[in-house]
Amino acid sequence: MDTFCSVVKFENLQELKRFCHWGPIIALGVRATCSTMAMMGSVLWYWPLHTTGGSVSFILLMNWTVMILYNFFSAMFVGPGFVPLGWKPENSQDSVYLQYCKVCQAYKAPRSHHCRKCNRCVMKMDHHCPWINNCCGHQNHASFTLFLLLAPLGYIHAAFIFIMTMYTQLYNWLSFGWNTVKIDMSAARRDPLPIIPFGLAAFAATLFALGLALGTTRAVGMLFFIQMKIILRNKTSIESWIEEKAKDRIQYYQLDEVFVFPYDMGSRWKNFKQVFTWSGVPEGDGLDWPIREGCHQYSLTIEQLKQKADKRVRSVRYKVIEDYSGTCCPLNRGVKTFFTSPCTEEPRIRLQKGEFILATRGLRYWLYGDKILDDSVLEGVSRIRGWFPRNCVEKCPCDAETGQAPEGEKKNR
């Protein structure tokens, strides 16, 4: 109920500006198109309301729409939760383990990161999502993930209605000679005829809505599985990249240590309960976090400071081995790369074989970094920044910034 009230009241009317963005406009447009066509197809052309199946189907369609929109608006307007401006740890000595944000004039709490779009430090930041025009973080992670679950289920139901509507109408028109196919077509026979006949325009609109439903189901479904994978490990997308760079740092310098992610409770169920609760409010205040036995409250932030001090792991150098056109969803880079394209406003960068990239973060099949245009890039200038597929680059054996580290440096570290 608290979540609902916060959505309705809008603590700040400026939040309404979140609608003025291509992400929410497209997301709500797709939802409106599919819901409208599914209800019309069900009531007018395929499954009339006076039948039991038609009534149940219509109620389900309404239910999907309400739940999807509720979680969508919750994720958008409740927000991820922001670190208070001017925040500092209770124990002043702990500040040595934390990074300081000059924009927010505050220390970054554990698991928080500064978002350039929101212009605030976000609690347990996962990513900035253009579809809700807001960050996904501590307070809205559950509602965002529920939206990713419910949306494909609703679109699958709508797609079934679209397919059966077109099939029954085409059956009545042409029959196609499918006399041996035993399907009960009584629901498609109307007496009297429907108010709006199923003509060519209705067929085209239904076919278009079917394409939207299937495409959205595939894309959003992939995002749901990605989110559930990191939730069951009690991580975020950013923390997964930090962990990957930590292992790379240890391997490169041949250190006698093992990086243990401090927020993994050791059980998928316990990790799940950190995000999903019956009250709808996530556990914790977003500033202090429970940690597994043997770990330090600031283990992850200490690792971030190490990586920030180490230029080699701050940006890992890659060499381009295959050309990349810079398209959003490249078909020629493989099925997994196509379906896991990052849903973000950040651009893609065009790559040519032989060029070099400094990667600063990444996903399983994508990397984000700066393209080196000339030698002056190494001095911190002339960079083009964006996403690119992992399978078109290979990691350079040398140091990302300054070349191969000396053998003595490896041993000393």
Enzyme catalytic residues: 129
Cα–Cα distance for residue pair 222/214, rounded to 1 Å: 12
Under DSSP, the state recorded for 371 is: E
Residues 6+ apart with CB under 8 A from 56: none
> Packing angle between helix 141-174 and helix 52-77, nearest 10 degrees?
150
Report the 10 Å Cβ neighbour count for 287. Answer: 18
Query: How many residues appear in the chain?
Result: 413
**Cα–Cα dist 106/123, whole Å:** 13
Kindly state the helix (H) or strand (E) to which residue 245 belongs, with its residue range: helix 237-252
Please tell me whether residue 369 adopts helix, strand or coil conformation. Answer: strand
How would you write 183-218 as a 3-class SS string? CCCHHHCCCCCCCCCCCHHHHHHHHHHHHHHHHHHH
The dihedrals phi and psi of 107, each to the nearest 5 degrees, come to -80, 145
Q: How far is residue 209's CA from residue 36's CA, in Å, rounded to a whole number?
A: 9
3-state secondary structure of 275: coil
Residue 180 token pair: 């041996």
SS3 call for 1 = coil
Which whole-number Å values give the CA distances from 178 to 22, 161, 181, in the listed order? Answer: 45, 20, 6
- Segment (H or E) for 122: strand 120-122
